[in-house]
Each structure stands twice: as structure tokens, then as C-alpha cells.
Amino acid sequence: LGSCPEEVRRRHIRLHMEGALTARDKVGVQDFVLLDAYTSESAFLDNLRKRFSENLIYTYIGTLLVSVNPYQELGIYTVSQMELYQGVNFFELPPHIYAIADNAYRMMCSELNNHFILISGESGAGKTEASKKILQYFAVTCPMTKSLQIARDRLLLSNPVLEAFGNAKTLRNDNSSRFGKYMDIQFDYKGVPVGGHIISYLIEKSRVVFQNQGERNFHIFYQLLEGGEEELLACLGLERDPQLYKYLSQGHCAKESSINDKNDWKTVSSAFSVIDFTEDDLENLFGIIASVLHLGNICFEENHQGCATVPDTHEIKWISKLLGVHPSILLEALTHRKIEAKTEEVICPLTLELSVYARDAMAKAVYGRTFTWLVNKINSSLVNKDFTKKTVIGLLDIYGFEVFDKNGFEQFCINYCNEKLQQLLIERTLKAEQAEYEMEGIEWEPIQYFNNKIICDLVEERHKGIISILDEECIRPGPATDLSFLEKLEEKVGKHAHFQTRKLAGSKGRKRIGWMEFRLCHYAGEVTYCTKGFLEKNNDLLYRHLKEVLCRSKNRILKECFLVAELENRRRPPTVGTQFKNSLSSLLEILISKEPSYIRCIKPNDRKEPSKFDDLLIRHQIKYLGLMEHLRVRRAGFAYRRKYEHFLQRYKSLCPDTWPHWHGPPAEGVERLIRYIGYTPEEYKLGRTKIFIRFPRTLFATEDAFEFSKHQLGMIFSVLTSVECEMNQLTIRLEAHWRGALARKAAQRRTWAVRTVRKFIKGFINRNKPLCPDNEEFIVFVRKNYILNLRYHVPKNVLDKSWLRPPGILENASDLLRKMCTRNLVRKYCCGITAERKALMQQKVVTSELFRGKKEGYAEVLSQPFANSRIDEGDINPKVLQLISTEKIQYGIPVIKYDRKGFKARQRQLLLTQKAAYVVELARIKQKIEYSTLKGVSTSSLSDGILVIHVSPEDHKQKGDAILRCEHVFEAVTKLVMLLKRGNVVNVVQGSLQFYIRPGKKGTIVFDTGSEEQVYKDKNGQLTVVSGCGGRCVT
């Protein structure tokens, strides 16, 4: 009796397995290894799509699990599901994350070796949720004692704390992990979880000080403001509104409907108490979080000497109080830098830009080290005091391969990490395949695959790799820039087959690589990286003056994070790239010592919509997760393998010799069976304990034959015959009743129709009388019909004056509805004006003030939008960008400059910054006109594109006025005037204008009209500009 429930369970498992094979045309195969066209990416995608449409989100590639995020609850993570997968052989049930977890756990317990589960995929693919599901599985299914429940609870509750401090809302994911995490779960000899250890990798510190549009800072900031008690916020000097803090408001989405910060704060607060955080710990921790927000609100101003000052020290006082530092010392550290000579120290004031950099660097350093402290604190609560030998299962939740429109230093590090992990995956898969073949006594066939060691060496090789070159550029004396780093790369690794820059690429490739970019050919394809910010992010320097302040902080956490010993160590700290390379090497050493399991997470669409399958996005992820390469390696030998006992039990009915019972060794029974079916020698191999089938079609043909044989039983036919006779009698009786019911219904409908027609005729006759029983239904119908028709004839915009003509009785109502509709359209139009369009309209207003009724072509310009710039940054020579690096380019346009001597036309670029206008020739600045010395701007009343920038004749630094001609003169003058922030500087002249050739000498430009456009020097030495008679639209 005791074995009955187990037998029922086994039968249930077999039904699951059989269903997956017989329904393969509808729901695809549950293991990609069984695809016939396994080299076809389209076949791979089609199989994934079939399964996703049936809410089957898990599929195997051998022992690797592919998981597609469903963006909805599917009810597949219940306790009963956990119990179903507990202790079951890996391939006996449909693919599931519980199968991966259970297989790792059983192998660890039986073989007493260590395992790890690598979870990867892009942001929003479900990596964090997958790791939670595995932790929950172990928490529910592993044996547990009351004394060890604390360790289990701490393991589970470490997740919400790490998510609060390390996760953030991005454009792709509302709960995106902005750090890599490796967690070891420790088990004793009984398989009971007794402790754990966490290692974090490359937290995105830059998010603390800057967020893109539509993104948020780390969750903890918003949770503290939304859920913290009033008394706590008052002690920290904080207000509830996140918009008041610069570090929280840059993404313009502080409030997000899908995120409940108040509830999350309660979860994190309860987790703190379980993980053994003291009141003192929390006071210091929240003080640090609040001080980061206050840091972001420090405003700097430039004094008359060009040095930074802090006019309002309100935020400085709060930071000093929260961190336990002296206000004046902190203020000095933010606005001055300490430079150490051989025997003395010099305090130098910082510029406005450097003070902002120092403030942001301090915020990043404080948050980054506090996060490391937090991980260490959690580890100390998870440590197991029993020093007996333990086995572990590691969970690696790491960022997947990233390819964006703009890829920077972070993507470079992440993709280097994925190169190393891909190398490990392929090597371990090949090793496992080879071991199984040797164990089963089957000849091993060498497999060709892409070895990405060449790319790993390009990045990490000592003295020759990209990271080493980057480090050299960071520490070398002299002015090192991102451009000089790129030039060094071209010199050192320019001949490498997997490296390209704009300079090294061919004519076709050059167009797709910018001046400041280089391209690497990864295992998953080409990725272009922009070197802007590489040096700054790799250095990640904190000024020594600020470090001294933090080392002397009275905040206990900061004391542990910033040790005084750091000040005594004069050696330069390792760069971010080197630290990441070293930590990655340590991680790989950990992984190599363990048995692997892999989960690849896929995001089905960018909008987080359930049941939506974006082919292009998923094809992109299949490529960058290396799934096709892994499938090719897995399928290089045999597609299917099964133990003799299981294969014989399923298919024995196909052979008379093995049906109904086979008395003998299972291997002989399987051999007899496949000979009877007709397997050819190239279709299979027989190992010591398993049969290996090379082609999926062989297995499918066997499965189809098995299904056919099940339907040959004679008893089924006799049962169907008796059932058919009874069904015929029932059908006759049912038809008779149904015909009677239809006839009665038709008669009732005819009677109702006659009455209704009479009512409406009577109502039409009395339609103009006051409302009465004779016309009530007709008038109600007319009203309803008019309203229903009106919804299809509502004006679409404010300019649409059409309106459905109403019947006489509804004229007043129609007028009211029309007014309401017009007001609603006007409101919608006003609300729909974006900030960008508003700025454009403001520019048009300025254009109108300058040129309306004064210059030809003005009317045509109104309908044409102005561009932000007519020159892309990539078209500007990098040396020019370096010369004006302190100023941001607001606008640029190609122009023709006419020499003051001889009026020769020269191709130039006009660049406008906030302080000056630059006339640029290739890599040189030909003329710089500061707005403070700019006297005025002249243009003619005709349709030519001439623009004269007048400079003060007393300014001897200037050569004279600049005579320019451009295609978009209205736009260029408007942009210049808005940057000048002065009125009455534009003069629209008629006939001619005077300009200075040089101080003390004037020249003349004469404007005229003619049959065609011309610009030439006339006999009198004047510049003559002839506009065409038809006029030309100049924006």
C-alpha cells in the first residue's frame, strides 16, 4: 500500500513526458537538441515561439535551461510544483527551473562535490527572479530544523536589502540589478542549508550622480523618502518630495506606478532586523544615504578669479552633521585640492567644473564603499560558526552581453566578462560530453568550435592588452585624453584581426565608426565602443583632500570603509579595469572548481507585455547569449540518449519479442527492438548503460509508430460502435426539440417586429409634438442614433470645423456638444506640446521679432523646423574639440567665409558655444569672437544667405568683421541672438552695408537682384551679392 502514491506519481511523470513528444508540432520540442534543423536560427526561434505561445517558458539545450520572461503569473511556482520535481531524474518532467535546482542539489548530496548555477541575460530578462525561485526551492524542499531557520531566513531576506541598494529602474527593467552577484549557499552533510557568502561585482556607481531620461537612482533613496517615518526624515534633514534632490530628479520619473516604494521600505526594514543590523548600524547607514542626497544639492558659483565657491552652506552643515566631519574642512576639500611636493603641501583652489567633479566623485566613492560594507555585513550574518566540511551551491546572477546605440566603459567590462564566461561554458560542455562518451564506451569525435581565447587575450594580456594600455595611459605623465588612448590602441593592437577603428577600417567600415570609437569582434558579433569617459571611469579618482576628510569621519561605517592607512600608502590604487579583471579571474577560479549548471534568460519584448513575442529582439539575444554555438557543440554527436530500462519500457509494444514483457538484460531487449523497427547503423550507438540516437527524426518516427500502435486495440472499436448508436437516437430527439424551439422563436420575433414598426410610424407622424407616449420611443431612437453616429464624425483636430447635422429636436444639445468637443480638442492640443516643440516655437518667436516684414523668405521659414545643429559632433575634428573642450557646442553649421582681402570664398564651419563664436578650418580655429566683444550682426533684406558678424574696432585681437554665407541664415542668426542674450544686435539692411576690413579700414557690400544668384568683387573693389529674381527659401 505504501508504494501506491509513488506509482501514481511516476505514472503522472511519464504522461507529462509522453505528451511533450506527441504534441511537438503544436508546442515544439522541449529540448532544442531534438531539432532536426539544429543549425538554423529560424528553426530555433520558431520552436521558442511555439512554446511561448502555449505559456511554456522553459526549454532545454541538453542540461542548459533557456527561460523566456512571461511578464505574467503562470501558477507554475507552487509548493505542489516543487514537490513534483523533487528527487526526479532530470529529463523525466517538462523543463523547469526547479529541475535545474533539484539536479544540482541531488548531485551535490550524492557525490559530495560543489556546484554552481550561472544565470545570465540582458536587463529585464528575469535573472533576479530566477535566482529568487532557486532560493525559494531550496528553502521549501531542503530538510530543515528550527535552529537553522534563521540562516534560511537571512539567505532569503538578503535579496530585498541588496535589491534596495543595488537595483534601479531603467528603460528596460523596473528592477534592474546594477551589479553582478555571486552567492554561495552552504549545506551540511545532511543537505541542510546552514550559511552563505556573497560577492558583488562592478556596481554602477555613476548612477548615483546621473540617470538617463526615464530612469531612476537606486531604490533605497526613494524608499527612504516615501516610507521613512517623519521623525527619521527630520533627523536626516530630508523632505518627502524626491524632485527636491538633484541626484533623484534627472530621469524625471521619481514616481513610478509599477513600484510601491512604501511597501518595499517595510520589507527592507523588516529584513534589516532579521539580518542582525543594530540601531547604530541603521543610524549610520541612513546618515550616509541622506548625505549623498545633500551632496547632490550643493551648488557652486564662480568668483571673479574663476575659482569655485559655495554661496549657500546649508547642505554642507547637514553633511557635516550626518558624517561627523567639520563643516569648514569639508567645504575646503570640495573647493580646493591638496598637492604634495617633496617637503611641503600646497592648497590650490578648484575651478567650477573640478569642484562639481570632486562632489560627484565623493558621492560615488561613499555609496560604492558603503555597498561593499553592506555586502560584508550580510556575509557576517550568514557565516556558519561550525567549521566542519560543507558543500556549496553557487548562484551567479551576472549581466549578459550588452550592445546599445552608445557603448562605453561599463559595456566594455560587461562584454569582457561574458567572453570569459562563454569560454568556460563551451570548454565545460565539451568536457562533459567527452566524459559521457568515454564512460559509455563510445568513440569521441573531435568538435570544431570558435575558441574566443584570442579575444580574451586582446583585452586582458599583460602589457599588450586593452586594459593594460588603458592603465598605462591613466598613469603616464603629461596630458592623457581619451583620444590619446585611442591613438595608443591603434599603435599597439591596430594589427589585431578582431580590432578596428575609423582610421584602420576600410572605406565601407569607416562610415560606421566615429572618430572616438573602436570596434571589437566578440564571439557574439561586432560591438563598437566610444572611448569618451574611459580614462575618467577607469581612474575613478577621489582627491586626497576629500579622502582625508572621509578617513576622519565619526560615522562608524565610513570609518570602516575609509581607513587611515590608505593615506599613508603613497602607491596609486589599482584602476577599475584592473580590479575588475582580477575579481573576474578569482570568480573563474571559483567556478572552475565546481560542477556547472546554466540558465539563459531571454526578454520577449521591450514593453514588458505578456504574450508578445518580438522576433527581432529575441533573435538578437539568441546571438549574444551564444545559444546557437552551445547547441551546435551539444548536437555535434548524438541528439538523444536514454537509459536502456526507460527506452524499453516505453517502446516495447512495437516489437512482438519485447511485448508484453521482456525477460532478459535491458540492453539485449533494446537491441532486439531497434532491429525489428529498422534502425540503420548510422542512426544509433549502444553504450554500456544507454542508447544514443543521432538524429531527432529517428526518435520522432519511433514515437509516431508508438502512438499509432496504441490506437489498434479492438475493444476501442466495439465501445465506439455502441456509443455511436446511442448518440444517433439522442441526435434525432434533440433535432425535433430544436426545430420546435426555432419555430416558436421565429413567430415571437415576427409579432414583435409588427408592433415595433407600427410604433415607429406613429412616432414619425407625431415627431414635432411635445413628448408623449405616441412619439416617445421614436424620439429616444432618433437621439440615440444621432449620438452613436456622431462618435464617428467627431472633429480630429482644432482646425477641423465639420460637424454632423442634427435633427431639429436636438439642435440645442448638438451646439452644447460641439462647444465641449472644441474645448477638449484645444486642451489636448495645449497639453500635447512637448518641451522640445515649445523651445522650437520660442526660437520662431525670436525669428519673427528679427525678420518679420524685413527680409524675403521669412514666410517660408515659419513652416520649417529649426535643427539643433547642422553639424554632427563626429564631423568636427577631434583636435578642435580638444581646443574648446571647456565649452559645450550649442550649434554648428557649414559656412562659406569671404576673405576681407579679395573676397575669396573659403569652406569653413561656424561653431557657437555659450561664450563665443568660432570660425573653424579643419583642425584650426581661424577666428574666435567672444560675445562680449561682438558689436552686431547684419544681413540684407533680400533672399541671399549673407551674414556679417561685426566686432568692436577697438579690439585689436580681432582681424576684422566676419563675412559668412550659409544655407540657413534665419536659423543661424536666431541661434546666435539667443546665445548673446542681448537685444537690438541684428540689423537688416537694404542696398548696402559697411564693415571693417581691419581696425581703421572699412569695406562695402552691395546687395542687388538679378536673373541668377552671384557673389563677386566689382570694379570698385566692393563685394556685390546678387539674389535671384524668384527668391530662394533660406531657413
Q: Are 629 and 698 within one domain?
A: no
Residue type, 193: P
Query: How much is the pLDDT for 368?
Result: 93
Q: Are 701 and 794 within one domain?
A: no
Domain boundary among 532, 553, 585: 532
Question: 933: domain range?
Answer: 837-1028
Query: How much is the pLDDT for 133?
Result: 92
Out of 220-224, 334-338, 432-436, 763-767, give the one with best mean pLDDT. Answer: 220-224
Assigned domain for 1002 exists: yes
Query: How much is the pLDDT for 343?
Result: 64
Q: Would you say residue 707 has pLDDT above 80?
A: no
CB 908 within 8 A of CB 919: yes
Please report the DSSP string for 275-304 in residue order: TT--HHHHHHHHHHHHHHHHHHT---EE-T
Residues 6 or more apart in contact with residue 263 via CB below 8 angstroms: 227
CATH number at residue 970: 2.30.29.30
More confident call, 525 vs 147 = 525
CB 893 within 8 A of CB 907: no
606-658 pLDDT per residue, tens: 888 898 999 999 998 888 788 888 888 777 677 677 888 888 888 888 888 88
Q: Confidence class of residue 341 from pLDDT cuts 50, 70 and 90?
A: low
Count of the separate structural domains present in the chain:
5
Assigned domain for 797 exists: yes
CB 691 within 8 A of CB 642: yes
The three cell numbers of residue 666 are: 535491458
Q: Average pLDDT of 685-706?
A: 78
Q: Average pLDDT of 732-743?
A: 89
Q: Are 850 and 954 within one domain?
A: yes
More confident call, 1020 vs 102 = 102
Q: Average pLDDT of 838-854?
A: 88
Please report the DSSP string for 557-594 in residue order: HHHHHS-THHHH--SPPPPHHHHHHHHHHHHHHHHHTS
Query: How much is the pLDDT for 641?
Result: 76
Query: How much is the pLDDT for 325?
Result: 93
Q: Would you say residue 449 has pLDDT above 50?
A: yes
94-118 pLDDT per residue, tens: 899 999 999 899 888 887 889 999 9
Only one residue has cell 579595469, namely 577
Q: Average pLDDT of 981-992?
A: 89
Query: How much is the pLDDT for 12?
Result: 44
CA–CA distance from 287 to each of 117, 194, 564 (Å)?
Answer: 37, 33, 21
Question: ∠ CA 971-977-980 to the nearest 5 degrees?
Answer: 145
511-521 pLDDT per residue, tens: 788 889 999 99
Please report the DSSP string for 512-565 in residue order: TS-TTEEEEEETTEEEEEE-TTHHHHHH----HHHHHHHHT---HHHHHHS-TH
Domain boundary among 831, 853, 868: 831
Only one residue has cell 587611515, namely 564
What is the C-alpha separation between 322 and 285, in angstroms, rounded?
10
CATH number at residue 516: 1.20.58.530
Query: How much is the pLDDT for 686?
Result: 85
Residues 6 or more apart in contact with residue 178 via CB below 8 angstroms: 166, 167, 168, 203, 204, 207, 218
Query: How much is the pLDDT for 222?
Result: 94
Q: Which residues are annotated as a binding site for ATP?
A: 121-128
Backbone angles phi, psi at 480, to 5 degrees: -85, 135
Q: Average pLDDT of 742-768?
A: 87
What is the C-alpha separation between 57 and 13, in angstroms, rounded?
19
pTM score:
0.63
For 137, counting Cβ atoms within 10 Å of its Cβ (0-12 exposed, 13-18 middle, 19+ buried), the class is buried
Q: Would you say residue 388 has pLDDT above 90?
A: no
Q: Are 860 and 826 within one domain?
A: no
More confident call, 33 vs 457 = 457
Domain boundary among 472, 499, 532: 532
Q: Average pLDDT of 457-474?
A: 90
CATH number at residue 690: 3.30.70.1590
Tally of residues, the chain = 1035
542-574 pLDDT per residue, tens: 888 888 899 999 999 999 998 887 777 777 788
Angular region, 62: left φ>0, alpha ψ -120 to 50, beta rest = left
Long-range CB contact pairs, 692-696, < 8 A, 24+: 692/440, 692/442, 692/637, 692/638, 692/640, 692/641, 693/638, 693/639, 693/640, 693/641, 693/642, 694/637, 694/638, 694/639, 695/36, 695/639, 696/29, 696/33, 696/34, 696/35, 696/36, 696/639, 696/640
Q: Are 632 and 646 within one domain?
A: no
Q: Are 801 and 876 within one domain?
A: no
The strand order across the sheet containing 525-530 reads 499-501, 517-522, 525-530
Query: How much is the pLDDT for 293?
Result: 95
Q: Confidence class of residue 208 from pLDDT cuts 50, 70 and 90?
A: very high
113-168 pLDDT per residue, tens: 899 999 888 878 888 899 989 989 988 888 876 656 777 788 888 889 999 999 99
Q: Average pLDDT of 289-294?
A: 95
Q: Are 659 and 519 within one domain?
A: no
Out of 32-41, 115-124, 250-259, 318-327, give the one with best mean pLDDT. Answer: 318-327
Q: Average pLDDT of 651-666?
A: 85
Assigned domain for 545 exists: no
5-64 pLDDT per residue, tens: 545 444 444 444 444 454 555 678 888 887 888 889 999 999 999 999 989 999 998 888
Assigned domain for 396 exists: no
Please report the DSSP string for 854-891 in residue order: TSTTHHHHTTSPPPS-SS-GGGS-HHHHHHTTTS-EEE
Q: Are 690 and 623 within one domain?
A: no
Helices (H), 118-171: 127-141, 149-166
Residues 6 or more apart in contact with residue 887 via CB below 8 angstroms: 913, 914, 915, 916
Residues 6 or more apart in contact with residue 912 via CB below 8 angstroms: 889, 890, 891, 892, 918, 975, 976, 979
Assigned domain for 242 exists: no
Q: Are 699 and 790 within one domain?
A: no
Assigned domain for 505 exists: yes
The three cell numbers of residue 869 are: 545643429
Assigned domain for 42 exists: yes
CB 952 within 8 A of CB 935: yes
More confident call, 892 vs 397 = 892
What average pLDDT does the chain have?
85
CA–CA distance from 380 to each of 154, 198, 289, 390, 434 (Å)?
Answer: 11, 10, 22, 17, 41
Q: Confidence class of residue 696 from pLDDT cuts 50, 70 and 90?
A: low
Residues 6 or more apart in contact with residue 564 via CB below 8 angstroms: 551, 552
Q: Average pLDDT of 983-991?
A: 89
Q: Confidence class of residue 251 from pLDDT cuts 50, 70 and 90?
A: confident
Please say whether the dihedral angle defined by the alpha carbons of residues 74, 79, 82 and 83, taken in this order, is positive or negative.
negative
Angular region, 116: left φ>0, alpha ψ -120 to 50, beta rest = beta
Q: Would you say residue 932 has pLDDT above 60?
A: yes
Query: How much is the pLDDT for 10?
Result: 43
Q: Are 860 and 892 within one domain?
A: yes
Assigned domain for 856 exists: yes
Q: Are 846 and 801 within one domain?
A: no
Q: Average pLDDT of 431-440?
A: 76
What is the C-alpha separation between 727 and 730, in angstroms, rounded?
5
Q: Are 977 and 857 within one domain?
A: yes
End-to-end CA distance of the chain: 91
More confident call, 866 vs 429 = 866
Active site residues: 123-124, 128, 173, 176-177, 400, 402
Q: Would you say residue 713 has pLDDT above 80?
A: no
